[in-house]
Structures are given as C-alpha cells and as structure tokens.
Structure 1
Amino acid sequence: MSHPSKQRPHLLETQSFNIASVALRDAWTDFILSRQAMQCSKTTLANYTDTLGKFISWLEGQGMTAPHEVTARHVRQFLALYQDAESTTTHTVASRIRTLLRFWHREGYLPQPVTFDMPKVRQKRLSFLTAEQVQKVLNVCALREKALVLFLVDSGLRRQEVCNLQRADVDLQTGAVRVRQGKGRKDRLAVIGATTRRALLAYLRTCPSQDADAPLFQTESGSPFTPHGLQSLLRRLSKKAGVAFSAHALRRTFATLSLQNGMDLVSLQTILGHSNLETTRRYIQWLDTDLLEAHRHASPVDNLKQSGHSSR
C-alpha cells in the first residue's frame, strides 16, 4: 500500500521557509523545543518533526500564516490525504497533530481549542510466530543469530532496546535484563530463561569486545547494531527460513506464547513496558484453538448442566 507522501508529493513535501508564515513556524518550533525540554527520545523527536513538518508546510500551502487560523476543517482536509494509508498510520498522524494543537492552545497560540474526531483504527490480527515457526527460524541460524532470535522471543524487548543493551545489563545467572531508558525513557526489568542464557553465553565467547560496557549484540567489528542493521539481519533470516517476521513480530510472539504458557496479564504488561493494560491486550494474538479450549472450560451452558441445572 502506497504512502500518501508518495501519492501527493506536491502537498506533503517540506517547503522552503516562508517569511509570511513566520508566526506559524515559530509556534511549530516552540512545540519542538518543548518536546526537547521534556527529554523526548531522538526517535520521538524525529517522528514529530517529520509528521508535523509536513502538516505545517501543507498549512502554508493553504495560505495559513499564523496558528490561530488553523481550524478542525484544515485538520480533516490534511488527514484526507492519508485515506489510502494504513488506519494505524492515519491515527498516528492525527494523534501528533492533536498533541501540537493542544500545546498551541495551552501556550496561547490558539484562542480556542481545535477539536476533531480521531480516525478509527481497524482491528486486525497482527503477525506473530508459532512455536513451530520459531524453531524453523532457529534451524537456519548461526551462533549470533540464534542467540538474538531467542533473546527477542524470550524477553519481548523492542528493537531499539536490544540495540542499546550492554553486556553488564544481563545477569547470566538469574536471567535478569536491565532495560535502561526504554520507550518513554523508563527503566524496567525483563527476564530471559536458561535456554536463551546458554545460547547467549556461547555467542558472547566469540564477540570481538569482551568488556562489561561492550554492546550485548555486536557487528563483526564489535560495534553495536543500529535498529536498521538489526532489521536487515532479521530480514535476511526471514527470507532464508521462509518465515515472514520482524523484530516487532517477535515481540508479539513473546506476548502471545507467554500468555499461552500461563503468564498473567499484569506481569506481561510490566515486562513489555506498557503504561496501560489495553496496549498489552492489543499485543496478544489469540489463536482459534485457544478460544475453543477456553470456551470448553468456561461454557456457561455446559457448566449449568454440570451443576445439575439442565436447560429445557
């Protein structure tokens, strides 16, 4: 599915600075500075800059020169450019614009709040790997790749979080993994099991750098993986194994298989680093067989019969 920036580049490409819209640009710059002051991550700042830069350029193209001229109609027109994009993409763009407009109102750039209906996210089953598929991937892995895949599936960490890990962050005796400055700049604890620790220990013996502050997963030169580099490695493994997956799919695999194996939702939420339980629920991919088995155990009618209250 094509991205709206490719469909309508004349509308969404960042335009050159326009003196007439200095008030609009100043208000946007103030918002970005506020996010920096809040110590948002580089990724978050880049996302705000990209999305809202396109929004500001589009507003300038509509003749806007100051924040107080922006209305809900302008927001709806801009979001309409994303009508062919994934619903999650459109929702994310709308969320960033909403954050900007709320900031403008609090700071006095907008005399009245600008409110609009958020685009709905179409619910769909997100991809994850079954236990059999995980094993199929492991069968084509070298030592480093095996340790990496097992680590991702066993810990549920995000791609960036894995790239940030140092050797000292993992206790190979207990399996405790210290995640520093995860999403939202929050520290938390994750865990890996004995099988993953053994694979990790075997890999670490072969690493170019053995220092405590060395990257946990290293390139051939001993440097840390970048998120893009890690993604490329997993893409090659995916093609080799004939199993489509990404780092995020392995994170969902952790969530789904952990729940199947009896982990409670609150513990799962804590390990994943989610701020609310609803986010965790969206990660869990119920299998049809799980639903059938759950109903067999909890069927209201069958349990009535078992209690001696048969239906007539």
Structure 2
Amino acid sequence: MLGMSPEIEAFAAHLAQVERASAHTLRAYVSDLRQLAAFLGERGIALDAATRDDLRAFLASRFSANTAATLARKQASLRAFYEHRVRMGHLADSPARRLVFPRRRLSLPNVVAVDDCFAIVDAPSRRTPAGLRDRAALELLYGAGLRVSELVGLDVGDLAHESVRVRGKGNKERMVPLGSRALDALRGYLGRRPELRPKGSALLVNRRGGRLTARSVARHLARYAAIAGAARHVHPHALRHSFATHLLDMGADLRGIQELLGHASLSTTQRYTHVSAEHLLQAYEDAHPRARKK
C-alpha cells in the first residue's frame, strides 16, 4: 500500500487475510499505526525500537484531539500490532503490553424518548413501497437494535421465522429476535418489494433496485424525525442506543441486552445502565409530587 512501512503493510495483510477484519477496522488500525510511525519518525525512532514510554507519549499527543472511544481504539491498535510483531519473531516483548493510559470519561449515548421513537417509526407512508421499506428499516433499528451497517447488509435470506441473522463487527453472526411490530412491518414491505425491482438479494433496496446505503438510511431517518416533531436530531445509532436504554428501563437483563446488541464486552453494554438511571431520575423529578421544586 502506498506510503506504508513494511511492518504496517505486513500487519495489514494479517488483519485482512487471517483475522478477516472488516474494511472499517482495517482502515482505522492502519491510520492509527501510520500516525504512530510519523510520531516516532519525527523523533528518529523505528517502530520496532519504540518503548512503552514512547507509546504513552504518542497517546498523550492525541489526547486533546480524540474522543475516549478513539483513544481506546488506538490503544487496541498498538497492542494488536506489537503482539503481531512478537508472534512473527521480530520482537522479544511487546512495548504495548500492560500499556495503561488515563481514560476520559466516556460520553453517554444519546437516547430518544419512547414517544418520539414510536412517532418516528410510524412516520413513513404505508401506501408506497419506499415508505413500507423505511418503516421496516426503522423497526429494525429501534425494535431490534441493529447497527446501521448491519441493517443495510441484510439479505432477504437472513430473515427466519421470527428472527433475523445479523453479521456484526468482525463478521460475527448472531440471531436477533423480532417483535410483532417489526414482523408486521417486514411482511408489509416484502409484499411490495418487487415493485422496487431489486437487482439482487439485498433486503432493503433503493428506487433503482440496488442495496440501500447507510447514508440514505440516515437521510430518511432525519426526515422522519422532523415529521414526527422529535425534540432532537436523530441519527441511526441513537435508535440503537434507545433500544438498549428502553429495555433496561423496563427491567431487561444486562447480559441479554449484550447478546442482542452483539457487544463483545459487557463493559460496553454497561454504559446504558448510567443512561437508564438518569432517565429514571428525570422521570421521578418530572412526575413525583415530592420531587417537584417549590
């Protein structure tokens, strides 16, 4: 690859061919490592000569310009790269092993109110194939908690009796159950899908018959949120956040939510417990007579 050191190029090939990393993960890791190589190069340090202190200095240089999630990913990139160098026999030990860096407080997910979610999902027309498609898409985002990339990657063959097979991050598959509203929306759309003249197996197709894109989903969602009079700008991931938070509000088990969302780590899912607690506190302050300010 153009402008890439042999060390990074070998690691990128390993990610693509052995780990089967997604294109998004591959781009992110390579970008992180190019930044590291540039940082070290300015100091006359080769990638294989970097120490733990050098890596800490690199992360510190990115602290103000990146979110907590991005910094955490950069740490993961460094660990994966140097572990690969050790496995290949180029290093005796990884300088990224036990690499600890002060974490920022993770920002809490944006959550849309239940009434707004219902209004958004009900906004598309039920009279047109495109409207029925959009209603089905919104039901899968909010009713099943899919990532938008998972949504647009669905094929018709991924639909089962009352569930859908989803390919998540790292091409990991999971089965997600579908509620009655999502099933009704899908049946309504599938009955009219042929009118969009699909050119392949994609579940959600555009007016030209091709696979619907994530950008199109975001654009349609913004329009329906405006029609519904939602209190804030709504993006596809906000519906996924709302799916998880509303389940917690209703007493769902955290481990079950982790499986539904396809999170590899429970700590990722635990962010929603803080949001759920805030929601409950706000509901108490808004509604309970003992909480109202005098």
Task: Tell me which amino acid in the other structure corresponds to 1:79.
Answer: L
Task: Tell me which amino acid in the other structure corresponds to 2:164.
Answer: V
- TM-score w.r.t. length of structure 2: 0.80
Q: Which residue number in structure 2 is paired with residue 118 of structure 1?
A: 101
1:149 aligns with 2:149: no
Give the match's secondary structure for 2:192.
coil
Whether the aligned pair in 2 keeps the contact of 1:161 and 1:182 (CA below 8 Å) is yes
Identity percentage over the alignment? Answer: 26
Cα RMSD of the aligned pairs, angstroms, is 2.9
Q: Deviations over 1:275-307 (max 9, x none)?
A: 33222222443144636999xxxxxxxxxxxxx
* Greater Cα radius of gyration, structure 1 or 2: 1
Q: Deviations over 1:11-54 (max 9, x none)?
A: xxx9956xxxxxxx222112112112221122211221222222
Whether the aligned pair in 2 keeps the contact of 1:169 and 1:178 (CA below 8 Å) is yes
Shift of 1:98: 2.2
More displaced, 234-243 or 160-169?
234-243
Whether the aligned pair in 1 keeps the contact of 2:154 and 2:202 (CA below 8 Å) is yes
Q: Distance in 2 between matches of 1:235 and 1:69?
A: 49
Q: Distance in 2 between matches of 1:245 and 1:292?
A: 20
1:98 aligns with 2:75: no
Q: Which residue number in structure 1 is paired with residue 148 of structure 2?
A: 159
Alignment match of 1:199 (pick from 185, 192, 196): 185
Q: Which residue number in structure 2 is paired with residue 184 of structure 1?
A: 170
Q: Deviations over 1:202-224 (max 9, x none)?
A: 22333245779622111111211
Alignment match of 1:255 (pick from 239, 244, 264): 244
Shift of 1:231: 2.9
1:290 aligns with 2:280: yes
Shift of 1:130: 1.9
Task: Tell me which amino acid in the other structure corresponds to 1:248.
Answer: H
- TM-score w.r.t. length of structure 1: 0.76
1:246 aligns with 2:226: no
1:59 aligns with 2:59: no
Q: Deviations over 1:68-126 (max 9, x none)?
A: 32122322332233222222222222221222122223323234331432341303431
Q: Which residue number in structure 2 is paired with residue 307 of structure 1?
A: none
Task: Tell me which amino acid in the other structure corresponds to 1:218.
Answer: V
1:293–1:238 Cα change, 3 Å: closer
Q: Distance in 2 between matches of 1:239 and 1:103?
A: 48
Task: Tell me which amino acid in the other structure corresponds to 2:104.
Answer: V
Task: Tell me which amino acid in the other structure corresponds to 1:102.
Answer: E
Unpaired segments ≥5 residues, structure 1? 1-13, 18-24, 295-312
Task: Tell me which amino acid in the other structure corresponds to 1:105.
Answer: V
Shift of 1:165: 0.7
Q: Distance in 2 between matches of 1:292 and 1:146?
A: 30
1:216–1:125 Cα change, 3 Å: same
1:227 aligns with 2:225: no
Q: Which residue number in structure 1 is paired with residue 29 of structure 2?
A: 48
Q: Distance in 2 between matches of 1:98 and 1:68?
A: 13
Task: Tell me which amino acid in the other structure corresponds to 1:158.
Answer: R
Q: Distance in 2 between matches of 1:250 and 1:199?
A: 17
Q: Distance in 1 between matches of 2:176 and 2:68?
A: 31
Question: How many residue pairs align between the two structures?
Answer: 270
Q: Distance in 2 between matches of 1:237 and 1:52?
A: 40
